[in-house]
A and B are shown apart, each in its own frame.
Chain A
């Protein structure tokens, strides 16, 4: 299909058109000019577009045709868990009893919502092996930040707040890990991975000390490898007086197989928009609940939900709490979808999810390893990392391979991450893809590897079939245009 639609909202606007009808009102107008000083009244109305209803729909349908989602095709983005987002969960989140309720309405008029949250907390306790859950964090990064503030409050309560100022982060970690540590007020110490792609016990021993506040770890890590020394790692950190944080971005690999609680972690977050199937929405909203071991519950974000007989209530009398990290109770609508997913799968289903996710990743890895460098030799979990080093020598970069995949009707894997692998391609197939899709994807990557040898221009010139060709990101960053120019000139 040739996509020709190329207009901005502002370019199709015409004065006088409308796509709304307000409720009728016979109430007399209140002139704000009679109650406010004139300089607080808008001089020029905001230049918003004026369109008919069909024009609005056609505009956004035109845009959607230039966008790629999971239902468009395979989306093997590593560390993002692009699994199917069940439709029924969209229906449920839109039930009036969930969508049209106010966060400050009387507790007794929102018992269904509180009950759902409480039950979701219980399910997540099981899945993580933790003792208490807070649904408040809006996303993984916010969960990390909240978790590290809990570290901080805990060390302060022990009189070690001034002393423990360092967070250890492996060099393979997601960028949010070190950044979250910084906005929690911590200094970051990077731990080098060993040759087999895991946290080296010796490097860790050398790094921990009386200044250690904690270690952040993703397990399996961003290379898709399980940290086999996790028990010893936990012991080393705990013995030094530090705490362990579990980045749950990769939890899709371990459902029903292991829990961060059993591994020795003190605080965890989960990405409900990854492991628990809620849609990514083009970048959000997500949901990043955190779980803690019993001795940290007093420090959790406030308010918390408690069950009193059959009555659910919100409590905010937690003097040691780190406070509130977000408005109200988190991204409730996202949590409704995640709870529906958990109820749909059950414990057995979730375990099957992880088994198939891991099987799929190992299968793709086995099919591709003759054609691409595989930096680490062991079996992977739910994702794996290839290196485009062999192709780079032919003048074809990983970025080119990523763009060429778009021509085959696939989205690209995560590229140039983790940073410790040159020309990295990080592939996460998820459990919801059929073997036929995995095979077609493997075939495409193999063909690209061959084209890199025989017809590199085909790859370096990609994509050839999208609405736009390769975009000039350099000029975009040098001379940023971040709002519609004409609207700006008029203002």
Chain B
């Protein structure tokens, strides 16, 4: 290499000295064990674009970023699992602290107390929100958490049938099917009745082979499901009730734990994480105490040091792959510690009242837009029992309407024609961030499209 790269401190002089200590004459000698036929030689060397200076890099990356529509340029009325919510500035400031950001998994607890305590607080707050006894320190995202929950359910019940509601996020269903393909259990979809999971269908289909029933809360279309009624159907069954919940909604909705859930999973993106084109977000995973030793991934526990001082460690580690290897029931290794920290800082900042206010304001805004649209003659398909999302039927294809909305400064709803089973159905979300001007002009713009 001709010029010393700013990330590489080793100089030619260093190299010479090190080679001498090692007792070889050139770097090549250290790679001589790579078989000739597999070596990257001149003909098959890796080819990449020229290295860029810092300035050229930022210029280029800004250009790429500039091609995307963002929340700075448009008002988003799109949700469907990922939400444009307020994130206090301090969240990012804490995440940028390199002691958190550049650490590895806290294998040496004495040098990682900060991370461990922050994750212990994350677990505590997730249990508080979900009404459960034990939470892990995070998983990849809400959908993989759901897959892990089903693996847990089929493993502890030793049953092979999972029933999920049609009101689940379509991508959650897809991930679930991939998990089921891996562990070789069966999944079936329960239909909706009156916009929530059909209890009669469940009643007829829950049987001795059922490992779990999965309900999304609120469901994909925005409706709030009656978890207690589902739990009642499981009274004589060994099947577990798995709930995939939006943690923001849990500020106002009764906790799934109180309504009978055995496992509660979901994604903390709505509480403190940027949308980031779908990731990294943060899956959470909470259970009743009896399943504590079956929970996938890392769990932080409180203990004391040799002086009796409070401290934190990763605990119950024998559940995990690095110890149990082929006897493990999950292969989870890395978690989403940094995004879990983001959610923790968020919850510490908005606190008990702020979370409720934020959820309530989102509800208010969604119901306001829903009523305004109906007033303007737009066909609203959802009934009133929705949280901050609802379905509207347009008179032309959703993508066409969204294209025009995009020109007017809006990102429109998500096309749910296939999921809902009606032509031109779109799922609209309104969060606390939308101003009254944005909401009114969105209603105008959509009504105008309908009347064209």
Contact = CB atoms under 8 A, between A and B. Distances in A.
Nearest to A403: B110
Given A19-B88, A188-B326, A482-B301, A334 B35 contact: no
B303 A359 contact: no
Given A51-B349, A109-B69, A358-B30, A8 B311 contact: no
A184 B182 contact: yes
A349 B107 contact: no
A320 interface: no
Interface in B355-409: 355-358, 360-361, 363-365, 367-368, 384-386, 399, 402-403, 406
Contact of A53 (B90, B102, B307): B90
B84 interface: yes
Interface residues of B, number: 215
Interface in A112-169: 112-113, 115-116, 123, 126-127, 129, 138-142, 144-145, 149, 152, 169
A153 to B, nearest CB: 8
Interface stretch (A171-179, A204-212, A446-454): A171-179
Contact of B5 (A104, A349, A469): A349
B316 interface: yes
A91 B105 contact: no
A1 B104 CA distance: 22
A286 B355 contact: no
B110 A322 contact: no
Contacts of A254: 34
Nearest to B342: A281
A26 to B, nearest CB: 6
B246 interface: no
Interface string A458-473: 0000010011111111
Given A23-B86, A231-B38, A412-B107, A101 B68 contact: yes
A194 interface: no
Nearest to B339: A285
A40 interface: yes
Given A66-B114, A379-B33, A363 B61 contact: no
B254 A40 contact: yes
B34 A27 contact: no
B238 to A, nearest CB: 22
Interface in A44-79: 45-51, 53, 56-57, 59-72, 75, 77
Contacts of B78: 102, 104-105
A274 to B, nearest CB: 10
B277 A329 contact: yes
A45 B250 CA distance: 9
Given A25-B436, A95-B61, A281-B101, A406 B108 contact: yes
A9 B96 CA distance: 20
B189 to A, nearest CB: 15
B414 interface: yes
Interface string A324-352: 11111111111010001011111111111
A309 interface: no
Contacts of A181: 326
A182 interface: yes
A332 B141 CA distance: 13
Contact of A179 (B106, B109, B181, B328): B328
Contacts of A97: 62, 64-68, 70
A52 to B, nearest CB: 10
A412 B108 contact: yes
Contacts of A126: 46-48
B254 A141 contact: no
A84 interface: yes
B137 interface: yes
A483 B40 CA distance: 52
B275 interface: yes
Contacts of B292: 480, 482
A381 B30 CA distance: 7
A113 B277 contact: yes
A32 B252 contact: yes
Interface in A73-99: 75, 77, 80, 82-86, 88, 90-99
A152 to B, nearest CB: 8
Given A112-B64, A255-B46, 8 more contacts: A47-B352, A75-B104, A101-B68, A178-B328, A257-B31, A379-B33, A412-B107, A484-B120
28 contacts: A18-B353, A22-B358, A22-B361, A64-B94, A85-B101, A100-B70, A101-B277, A105-B76, A109-B74, A175-B322, A231-B38, A258-B38, A281-B101, A282-B104, A282-B119, A283-B298, A285-B338, A329-B277, A330-B278, A344-B57, A362-B22, A403-B108, A434-B10, A471-B305, A480-B299, A481-B302, A483-B123, A487-B124
- Going nearest first, the 4 A-B pairs with the smallest beta carbon separation are A328-B278, A97-B65, A281-B338, A346-B51
